Amino acid sequence: MSLINESHDSLIYIDPVPTEADYVIVSNLISDELRTVDTSVTHPLLPHAYAPRYPELLAKEHERIESGADREVGINLSRYEALEAPQNTSPNSDEKNPQLLAQWRETLQKAYASSSYLSWRQTNLGLLEKYGKNQWLIGNSQLEDILKGLETELAETRAQVERIEYERRAQQEAVSGEMATLDDTWKKGIGRVIETEVAVEGLRREIVERKRGGAIIAS
């Protein structure tokens, strides 16, 4: 929805270029008008400011950046490194040491996670070696198609802009003579109006003076 219903299109191809003095006058007029306006309050027709809603992870990252905290680099790979086994004991003594049993249980869980990660990594590397090249070529081909489409759209848009500019220039130049005549007629009309107002004011003063002179003679 347009905030301003009026249109003040400039005729850039036939209008005279404003001078520095014109810019100064306009700037002063704008400054004088702004002094009467409360710039701390937005216009009622302006839409409310957009308040973005970020996902939780992105919001936390924004908070981290604002706080200046260090960024976590990648994935912590220490869990996949070689593990050191707890102290080895005899089977019978483990039952009497629950803390040692908990250490073995934790180590086995980490070893299972590391084994699963390495197994999946080996599988993925094998798939990448087998199909990666073709997928890379297909991806490049798709990107080239997208790029060609964007370049075609850009060329069409540029051609449309040039065509509109050409039509606009032709229309303005076609009516430049008529606009100059109308502008000259308008200026002459304003001049006649001013001359008429001056003549009327002179007649009014003359009538007032004659009335005053008649009143003085009568008295």
Confidence (pLDDT) at 215: 64
Confidence (pLDDT) at 9: 63
Mean pLDDT of 140-163: 94
Mean pLDDT of 43-70: 86
Q: For the chain, which residues make up each domain, given as ranges?
A: 179-219
Residue range 57-71, pLDDT digits in tens:
888 888 888 888 877
| pLDDT band, residue 96 (cuts 50/70/90) | low
Confidence (pLDDT) at 127: 87
| DSSP-derived secondary structure for the chain | --S--------TTTSPPPPHHHHHHHHHHHHHHHTTS-TTS--TTSPPPP-----HHHHHHHHHHHHTPPPP-S--GGGGSPPPP-----HHHHTT-HHHHHHHHHHHHHHHHHHHHHHHHHHHHHHHHHHHHHHHHHHHHHHHHHHHHHHHHHHHHHHHHHHHHHHHHHHHHHTHHHHHHHHHHHHHHHHHHHHHHHHHHHHHHHHHHHHHHHHHHH-
Percentage of the chain with pLDDT > 70?
A: 85
Is it the case that residue 137 has pLDDT exceeding 70? yes
